[in-house]
Each structure stands twice: as C-alpha cells, then as structure tokens.
Structure 1
Amino acid sequence: MGTVLKALLQQRHLQTVAAFNRHYDHLAEQIEPGSVGAGPRKAQFYRWLSGDLVGLPYPHHCRILTAMFPGWAINDLFAPYTGLQSLEENHSRSTTLPQPTTADVEAVFPTRTEFIQSMPPTEILRANRRIDAMGLSLNLLCQHLSDSTVRGLVESGTTLRCLFLDPGGVHIRNREAEEGHEPGVLVNLTELNIRSLERIRRGATPDAAARIELRTYDQPVRFNITVVDSEVCIVQPYLPACRDVESPTFVCRKSPAAGVFDCFSGVFASMWENGNTVEKR
C-alpha cells in the first residue's frame, strides 16, 4: 500500500533514495545547514515509503519533510495511502482538521526497546557538546555505546555528566527487590558501568578526561533522564515491578514556552547539584 509520502514523492518523481536526498540536501542548505548529508539511508528511506515504522523519524528529518511538503502534518505524511482519495483531498482534510498538540513532547514509545529501534543511541548521542544523564545504571550511555565511541565523544569536545544511583546505598537495593532481582544484580551492573567510564577517563587525554564527570545519589529512583545539548530530553519512569527497558520512553525538545523539557532538565540540574562526586582513581 505505502504511505502518503510515497505517493507524493512519486508525483514529484523523487521516489528513489538518490533523487530524494538531493532534494533533501537542497532544502537543508536553506533551513538547517547542519542536516546537509544527513538524509535517510536506503533501508530507512524505503521504510518511510512502506510505512514500516515505529514512531516518527528523527526531529531533523521531520523538519525537512514539513518544509518539503508545506501544509502537510508529519503524521499525515506517514499515514497509509489507499488511493481512494486524491492527494489534494487528503491534503485538504489534513489541513482543515485541528491537529492535536503535545507541547514539547515529540515522540512517545511504549518501551525502551521500541525507542532504541526507532532512535538508536549511536545516532542521538553522536556529535554533541554535552550529554547529561541520570537514572540507575545509565545503560543507554554505558551499554549501548562502545568504549571507543564514548572516548571519541569526549576527545572531540563532548562533556559527559553522569549521575548514577549509588551502588553502595539503600535505594538501589530497594529497587533490586522491586524488580525481583537477586541481591547485587543492579549493584554490580552499576559498579561495572561506573568503572567503565572511569577506565575511559584514565585513558583519555587530560582535557578529555576533565570532560567526564561522575556523581552518585542515594534517593528513590523515579526517572531515567538524558539531556542532549540542553535541547533534547529522553525520559523514562521507573515503574513498580517493571524493568526500565519495559517502561514507556518520552522524547521532548526544548521550546520557547515552558514545558515538559524544562521540568525534567530542571530535575537533572537539581539532582546533579546535590550529587556526590566519584573521585578520579
């Protein structure tokens, strides 16, 4: 069947990945120069056309697509196209109906697994200037990125501020019981992730090592929060009797008006300020 996007691209003779990306780069040069060359790869592009997606594409893709098709809502571009109506009728319908607003929440995924499939950490966390992360063991950063990737980030100028649930504290043991783990499972994982970042810090150049900041806190764990460049915030709640990979994942982007992003970035700032520094060893 395919998506409305596929039908529109066929109408414009842009249905091949090469032709699409040439047009993509042309628009990016005008409205978002940092996205030049960042168009979809072949497999991703054909998922866009077929509708085989979990959630929407990355925000920068959405911005280019809405510029490519003025007046079209991004959700409507990825809706199934049946061919029973003309594109003009679909367009008229999509622009006359009020669009739901979600403030600064750009995407919601039922689980972390679906989030990672749609927005891989290697894509979200690369080429950034600062990554702030807090939660339990920080697996999104420590388990989904290789040591060489993390080392490359800090050597190229990225600052990492990582706030772990204290592996020697009371609340990590409470969380182990809540998730139904044997004693020590989350303690050992958190210690492993801290040691991994300490190892990278020891092997980095002095300037890069100074950009890896590690702290701990010992309070009830409520949210996993990752803030990228003070612009994008990824949030997961810690739910009762539910592992973090199974809980919903929210992606927020800072907007001029106060919203969800400001709430959670403020939580990180407060918790970081009161955290305990993990000294260099």
Structure 2
Amino acid sequence: MLPGGGEQGDRHVAEGATAEGMPGTVSVAAPLEIGAELDWDADAWAEVRTRARRAGRAYVWLNLVEQRLRAVVNAVLRPIYEPVHGEEWVVAAAGPAGHEWVQRAVAVREVSRRKGFLLDPADDNVLSFLTLPQLRELVVQHWPCFEPYYDDRRELELALDELEVTRHVVSRNRALSTTVLDQAERASARVLELLGSGRARTAGQRLPVDAVEELVADRYADVIGVYPDRVRLQRQLPVENLFSGARRLDAVGIGLNLLVQNFSGRRLVRLVESGCRVRLLFLNPASSATRRRERELGLGRGELSRSVEMNIMHMRRVRARLRDQGAFEIQVFDEIPRFTAYLIDGDSPDGLAVVQTYLRRARGMEVPVLVLRGGARRVVADDRPAESGLFDVYREEFEGIWADSRPVS
C-alpha cells in the first residue's frame, strides 16, 4: 500500500502521468551548488563597510553623551542621596517611578560580576549600568537639583530625545542614514555644550571662515559681515554662540541689551567661573547724554535711564554671585555714546567684534551691524607691514573710554 491511496489511487492516474503533485507525496529538491549565494560582491562589501563606519561614528557621539551625562548625574545627585542610602543611592534616587529599570540595572550588574565582565573596578556600581534614557529620566525627575547649573530643561530634553532614533538604530545594528547621523551629531554636540563639556571657542568656531572671506581676505579690512539690523545678525550668529567659551569679553554701549537681555545670568556666571574676564561699560543713566538720547528717540523723560539702570542692577546681581568679583567689572561713562561694541577675546589674534553705530532716530535693534574678525589677513603674502583693521580701532576706543569711566560699586 503506497501513501495517498496505494493501488486504488494509481487507477485514477492517467497513463504516462507521474506521481509528482499527488497528495501525500514528497518531492526531492534539485541539487544546488552550495556556497554560491553566500559570497558578497564588491558592492555588498562597500555597503556594509559604509554602514559600519556610520554606526561607529554615531556610537562615539552616543558614548560621549552617555559618559558626560553619567558624570553630571553622579556629581549632582550622589552628594544628596549617598549620605543617607550609601551604595544604594542610585536605587533611592530612581524612586518608585524608576523601580523597574533600576532593578534591571542591578540584576545586570550582578550577572556581570559573576561572569567576570567587569574589567574596570570603577564600573562596579549601579550608575554605570544605566542607559542613556534612564540617565535622562533621573535628570528630569530631579530637575530642581540640576537647575542651578543648567538653564533650559526643555532644550536639554529635546536634544536627548533627538538621540533616541540613533541609539535605537545603533543598538540593533540597523542601517543608519546620513540624515539621521547628521542629526545625531548636531544633537550630541548640543547636549555636550549644554552640559558644559565643550572647549573654549575660537572666533573661527563661532563664525567659521567661508569661501568668500578666504577669497577677498583683507579687501574690506577685517569686516566679515554686514547686517541691516540686529535681528538678522542673531539669525546668523546667535548670542549663545557669540559669547559662549569666551576668555575675555569687553562691551561698551548705552544699555548693552544684546548681552544683558539675551544671555542669561546663569550663563554669565558659568562663563566667568570658567576663567573669562568681563568688562562692561554702560552710559551713565544720570548723565545729560542719556537725556539727549531720550529726546532723539522720542522717549519720555527718564524712560531710557530707567532701562539702563535695570540692566546695570541685573549685572550687579550677577557679579554678586561670583567668587572672584574682580573678574567682572562694571563702569559707567558720561560721554555722548557714538557706538556700541562687543569685543570677544579682543586681546588675541582670533578675536571677534560686533559693532553698531548709533543713528538719530533708530534704536539699537534697528541699526546696521558690522562683524569684525581680529588679526591681519592677506591673500598674497609680501614684505609690507600688516595694517591694523577696524577691530583695533574699536578696541583702542574701548580702552580710552574705560580709562575715563567710573566704577560701579
């Protein structure tokens, strides 16, 4: 008896027909050349190498962010929880909301201990086994503890959220597009900057030299940018990029609104604590020059002077929070204001300056802006001595006004 009906089933098969396809029969696969489909051609190898390079590049950024965030969490939360909870301070900091993932980290740590995966004794703690999202959760849960050190919680959260797609792709060895990689690099750099781990910026990093500037060099002295007003300047060169990482900051003007109203007090404190020396020159609110400027702008009597006084008071409060108050000097001048200038690293060849002249009927926000780069540059080198540009002119003018001004106590 054969499977599928035996002899009775064969009676219904037409003469000359085969048994293939009959119910219950088993067909034998045709012999194939084993290994022919396992080889990769040159295009396949190029593709996987590209994927590996992108993933490796993304991993480096993610690793930097995770290490930095872990160090910040350790520095801020450990002194709060460790005195009470000892080695279990991470578990205590996670609280009921993070009980599940922190216990998972504890379990992974124990397994790593037993199997000998802990190669560095410094990693033998629960914090080292928390992932980037879990570290982010600790920061969000304890934001009041981090707020004295960092300004914008929302900006930090958004930057960390942007890294989630990249982290997911890299952890699962999926293909990473150039768009996602670029986004991850920007977000990582932003997180590291927000967490205060970046190096001091040079003028080239604040405002990179473009092809046009390379070509014309000193044709326009050291002017590298002209903007019709301050709004368009800030689109190209945000205040944070302008002042962050500065080693020296000299500013002169009526109220210095570009700095006072757009760069927070906390950031100024961190800037000075990191080694920056600041000198601010305000127009004396009680001077006749202030009243004359009020008339030019059509303002009410005392309106401009009150605004300048508020800015000076704000800067005094910033100075009061510093350990070295001598690094943050505030003075006032009585002369007629002719320009406002912000000189960043003005004592170095890679300094940057933002300059505005005062117009009779226009406020500072509406006045054209010049951006200057310090240091002489030439397309063709020759034996002629380098000529000083506008940067040196405004720097000397600042020093002259500073010498004739009075300190604010």
TM-score, normalising length: structure 1: 0.66
Report how far residue 181 of structure 1 moved: 0.9
Report how far residue 99 of structure 1 moved: 8.5
Aligned twin of 2:212: 74
Residue 222 (1) aligns with residue 342 (2): no
Question: Relative to 1, partners in 2 of residues 1:99 and 1:196: Cα closer, same or farther, differing over 3 Å?
Answer: closer
Number of equivalent positions: 200
Aligned twin of 1:62: 208
In 1, Cα distance between equivalents of 2:185 and 2:335:
42
In 2, Cα distance between equivalents of 1:175 and 1:110:
21
Report how far residue 100 of structure 1 moved: 8.8
Question: Relative to 1, partners in 2 of residues 1:40 and 1:122: Cα closer, same or farther, differing over 3 Å?
Answer: farther
Which one has a larger percent strand, Structure 1 or Structure 2?
1
Secondary structure of residue in 1 paired with 2:219: coil
Aligned equivalent of 1:171, options 289, 308, 321: 289
Aligned equivalent of 2:402, options 256, 272, 278: 272
Amino acid across the alignment from 2:229? T
Question: Relative to 1, partners in 2 of residues 1:223 and 1:123: Cα closer, same or farther, differing over 3 Å?
Answer: same
Where do residues 128-207 of structure 1 align in structure 2 (5 Å cutoff)?
Answer: 128-205=246-323, 207=324
**Percent of residue pairs identical:** 32
In 1, Cα distance between equivalents of 2:213 and 2:388:
24
Amino acid across the alignment from 2:366? E
CA RMSD of aligned residues (A): 2.6
Unaligned regions of 5+ residues in structure 1, if any? Answer: 1-17, 23-38, 43-57, 67-72, 77-94
Higher relative contact order (CA 8 A, sep 6+): 1
Report how far residue 74 of structure 1 moved: 3.4
**Native 8 Å contact 1:253 1:261 kept in 2:** yes
TM-score, normalising length: structure 2: 0.46
Amino acid across the alignment from 1:140? L
Question: Relative to 1, partners in 2 of residues 1:152 and 1:62: Cα closer, same or farther, differing over 3 Å?
Answer: closer
Aligned equivalent of 1:232, options 352, 356, 366: 352
1:14-72 deviation line (CA, Å, top 9, x unaligned): xxxx98xx7xxxxxxxxxxxxxxxx9948xxxxxxxxxxxxxxx843634xx6xxxxxx
Amino acid across the alignment from 1:74? V
Aligned twin of 2:371: 251
Return the index of the structure with the highest Cα Rg: 2
Amino acid across the alignment from 2:223? V
Report how far residue 75 of structure 1 moved: 7.3
Amino acid across the alignment from 2:242? I
In 1, Cα distance between equivalents of 2:221 and 2:186:
30
Aligned equivalent of 2:224, options 106, 116, 140: 106
In 2, Cα distance between equivalents of 1:167 and 1:158:
27
In 2, Cα distance between equivalents of 1:113 and 1:156:
29
**Native 8 Å contact 1:62 1:74 kept in 2:** no
Aligned twin of 1:47: none
Secondary structure of residue in 2 paired with 1:137: coil
Where do residues 16-35 of structure 1 align in structure 2 (5 Å cutoff)?
Answer: none
In 2, Cα distance between equivalents of 1:226 and 1:180:
26
Report how far residue 101 of structure 1 moved: 2.2
Question: Relative to 1, partners in 2 of residues 1:222 and 1:40: Cα closer, same or farther, differing over 3 Å?
Answer: farther
1:195-249 deviation line (CA, Å, top 9, x unaligned): 11111111221x2x21110110011111001100011111001001111110100
In 2, Cα distance between equivalents of 1:74 and 1:103:
14
